[in-house]
A and B are shown apart, each in its own frame.
Chain A
Amino acid sequence: MDLLAAGVREALRLLVSGDAEVVAILLLSLQVSGAATLISLVLGIPAGAALALLRFPGRTLVVSAVNAGMGLPPVVVGLFVTLLLWRSGPLGAWEILYTPAAIVLAQAVIAAPIVMGITLAAVQNVPEKFRLQLLALGASRTQMVGVVLREARLPMLAAVMAGFGGIISEIGASMMVGGNIKGQTRTLTTAMVLETGKGNFEVAIALSLLLLVLVFGVNWALTAIQQRRVW
């Protein structure tokens, strides 16, 4: 119990004093997971919307694959992204293994199916009759999809929350493709594993508090938007 209390005290001290290393880790985590979330939105929203609106043979199979992909284990993604980026691998020429870019790539792969799956469900929830009414008012296909996405904007905020929440807290992929290199690819979660292993519980606690506050803060902001329904 003393260990925990001392840990929390030290953690608060580290946070309040703005420890340079902790701040650097926090910023890197935010940047990496933020960028990965953005990429997953750019890819996942159009793909999810297309999947919701188009009918083609094998569609059910693709939808099932996307839904399964929402639970993709980060370690598995880490392994395959590592193999892709390995010096002799297909993307070895990029030379990004063990850089933040590799973590962004891996996390985007984890988040994209989540964004896609939630978008798919949200768009499918907009009645088909509504789409017909938009066309009947003279909407082009693109305008129709635009309005439908706008209709689905509230459930789609859940896609952002789920995507970001899933990757800011994942560790397997970050560890494998980032390598937890101090000052370069050390994120909140990889640092926590390291510090806990070394017995530096107070640092680990500080980092875990930061992670919790971060996840809560982002979700709080998005939820506020969602619940206020302002736009």
Chain B
Amino acid sequence: MNLKVEELSKAFNGKKAVDRISFSMDRPGVFGLIGTNGAGKTTTIRMILGIIEKDSGSAEWNGKPISRETMSFGYMPEERGIYTKTKVLSQLIYFGQLRGMSHGDAKRSALSWMERLGVSEYKDMLAEKVSKGNQQKIQLLATLIHDPVLVVLDEPFSGLDPVNTELIRKLIGELVDEGKYIVMSSHQMSTVEEFCENLVMLHNGQTILSGNLKQIKAGYGHTNLLVRTGRDVTPLAQECGLELLAKRADETEFKITGDEMAEMFLKRIIADGQYPVKYEIREPSLHEIFLEKAGVAK
């Protein structure tokens, strides 16, 4: 099974919302669509799923165009919406039936998923009576009730409290283990970094970066140095040509040109009679890469 998106484009009133985006997924996992608000993530998703007409390009699942009639996909939109005046179980059954399930199957699946996400106690309550976090879980259940192979999650963690965030994190991991293909959009880079092996980075509708996350980061090399010492080492760093990136309560982060610079700085600190508690050389975060790329794109 594979998902292949090629050269998808869409313009609104002459303005390009998405310009020739391409990516593919050849095995189960999480694919990341990242970018700021208005970057074109939701438009891309809507084009892939056939909710809106694309101007050009194609989105195929196993070589066939994707549509609600040709394949089983689940989609959780960014703008959450459920029937507030309807009982939770009733609307889950309704969504299941719309996706071709029988009433019995939809009910069984809904109850099973509710159990899994810990919302069984709300099954006979009106949706408006349950908390926002639980409403989000119900929305996710509506996405997964028919056991789709391709799952598209638009900003799945937005508005969730830490407990529910952890629950959804765990669930996404389980879905991948079950063989699901997940396309996840987010503007929270740390989230994408945690889940996605591959990604596309969008800015104003343009693809500014795409590929395997590890390879992207490796391409940047070791650029960051985290240091925790007893005394402030910033003056020493400046002497050695390191650029201060961030000064936090318990550590300081510098930009380095490579491992040699880090080695030289370590010798200088030790020569100064200090022994660092933490001395970590690392690749740039996705957030930093994005800022750099988006800055270039501007």
Partners in one complex: no
